[in-house]
A and B are shown apart, each in its own frame.
Chain A
Amino acid sequence: KLGVGVDAIQHGVEGLTYLLTESSKLLISEIDFQDSIHVLGFSDELNKLLLQLYLDNRKEIRSILSELAPKLPSYHSLEWRLDVQLASRSLRQQIKPAVTLKLHLNQNEDQTAQVLQTDPSTLLHLIQQLEQALGEMKTNHCRRIVRNMK
């Protein structure tokens, strides 16, 4: 339909893919993008089209590229339940509170769920530790690094 050979189409698609992927990966500015494609000697109209294509799609391309990085299972969600153990085979007449958690994690498109349990004092300890972790980003040290990196 386009009246062009298969090879030309293939090269064209590959070239376009490479251009968009590399530009998105490096997150180059508009000016840098325009300078880069200028050497190809296309018409102004085509250059404008390519720039628009880049700007429209770079966010999505970047999010796809971010999936390729090595990574650990990531948090998806948590369900919890409170139980009180009243008896077991080895001990009767108990009152033992327990917190049962179901941790949902994502790993490479698979979702796993793990059932875990803890006791009330460990739960409070977990909360305290993780709140400290959250607080770290607000410290001067971290703020300084974030500012200087950009």
Chain B
Amino acid sequence: MELSAFARGGWRLLGDPGRFPRRPYAALLRAAFRSLLDHPRAGLDDPDLKDIDPTVLKHCHAAAAMCILEAGKQKADVSAISTCLEDCKLDKERIEQFCTEYQCRELVTVLSFSIGRSPLHITDVSWRLEYQIKSNQLHKTYQPSYLVTLNVENSDSGSHPDVSFSCTMEQLQDLVGKLKDAAKSLERGSQM
């Protein structure tokens, strides 16, 4: 597992007890994990961090976050992380503190899963069945019609207008048939 020069610089600062006494170090680690997993600004208002120079704080916070994401990306184990941080001149105790926090937070892999581009993702479907009787152009139509709405999510912005369409019973049967084919192939594929 390797970190960029910028990140290594930040970790060297984090390893310096003069710049980062014990309590601010622990507070910064907590802030870095929380800002990735909970909310971007979480933890930075910790009173233990108020004496740290803002530029240094920003650099170190970024370095910690990069290390967390890189470890998640590579599915690094404790020894890989330790080796990496040893190169940044961190003492054993501080390395252990980081690894403990990392192992407690299994969500890091989930986070890495969710970063990245993908097509619109279907999350749910709703449907409506109606029976058409007449329109102003045509009377006595008497046919069932389905309105299907697919709820979709955009990986970037989260929400997206839903995809709606109407279909006859035969068309819906065609659609369901094709989806069932896909599901069957999935089942066969997963058995391989």
Asked if A and B are interacting partners, one says yes
Q: Which 10 A-B pairs have the closest CB atoms?
A: A75-B167, A91-B112, A90-B115, A118-B122, A69-B135, A133-B127, A68-B137, A80-B182, A117-B119, A65-B138
* A contact residues around B138 at 8 Å (CB): 25, 62, 65-66, 68-69
* Residue A53, interface by CB 8 Å: no
User: Given A68-B137, A122-B122, A133-B146, do A99 and B175 touch, yes or no (CB 8 Å)?
Assistant: no
Contact status of A93 and B120, CB under 8 A, knowing A99-B182, A149-B131: no
6 residue pairs from A and B, CB less than 8 Å apart: A93-B75, A97-B190, A100-B119, A115-B119, A134-B169, A134-B172
A82 and B189 contact, Cβ closer than 8 Å, known pairs A65-B137, A75-B172, A123-B182: yes
Nearest-neighbour CB distance to chain A for B53, whole angstroms, equals 30
Q: Does A125 contact B (CB under 8 A)?
A: yes
Pick the contact of A125: B75, B120, B124, B148 (CB < 8 A).
Answer: B124
Judge if B83 is at the interface, Cβ distance under 8 Å. Answer: no
Q: Is B116 an interface residue (CB 8 A)?
A: yes
User: Does any Cβ of A come within 8 Å of B40's Cβ?
Assistant: no
Asked if A72 and B166 sit within 8 Å, CB to CB, the answer is yes
B72 at the interface (CB under 8 A from A): yes
Interface size on B, residues (CB 8 A): 59
Contact of B139 among A25, A72, A115, A136 (CB under 8 A): A25
> Which A residues are in CB contact (< 8 Å) with B164?
72-73
Which residues of B in the span 106-146 have a Cβ within 8 Å of any Cβ on A? Answer: 109, 112-113, 115-116, 118-127, 129, 131, 133, 135-142, 144, 146
User: B142 and A149: CB pair below 8 A?
Assistant: yes
Residues of A within 8 A of B109 (CB): 91
- B141-A90 in contact (CB<8A): no
- Which residues does B use to contact A, with CB under 8 Å? 69, 72-75, 109, 112-113, 115-116, 118-127, 129, 131, 133, 135-142, 144, 146-148, 150, 152, 163-167, 169, 171-176, 178-183, 185-186, 189-190
Chain B positions within 8 Å of A94 at CB level: 113
For the complex formed, measure the closest distance between the CB of A89 and the CB atoms of chain B, giving whole angstroms.
6
Interface size on A, residues (CB 8 A): 60
B186 (CB) vs chain A CBs: closest residue = A120
Q: Is the CB of A92 within 8 A of B179?
A: no
A1 in contact (CB, < 8 A): no
Given contacts A97-B189, A123-B179, A130-B172, contact A149 B133 (CB under 8 A): yes
Please name all residues of chain B whose beta carbon is closer than 8 Å to the beta carbon of A82 when the two chains form the complex: 182, 185-186, 189
| The one of B112, B152, B165 that contacts A75, using a Cβ cutoff of 8 Å | B165
Known: A117-B118, A127-B176. A90 touches B73 (CB 8 A): yes
B137 touches A80 (CB 8 A): no
Q: How far is the CA of A138 from the CA of B32 in the complex (A)?
A: 57
Residues of A within 8 A of B72 (CB): 91
Chain B residues with CB under 8 Å of A124's CB are 183
Q: Are B125 and A130 in contact (CB under 8 A)?
A: yes
Q: Looking at the assembled complex, report how far the CB atom of B25 sits from the nearest CB atom of chain A, in whole angstroms.
A: 26
Q: Which residues of B contact A115 (CB under 8 A)?
A: 119-120
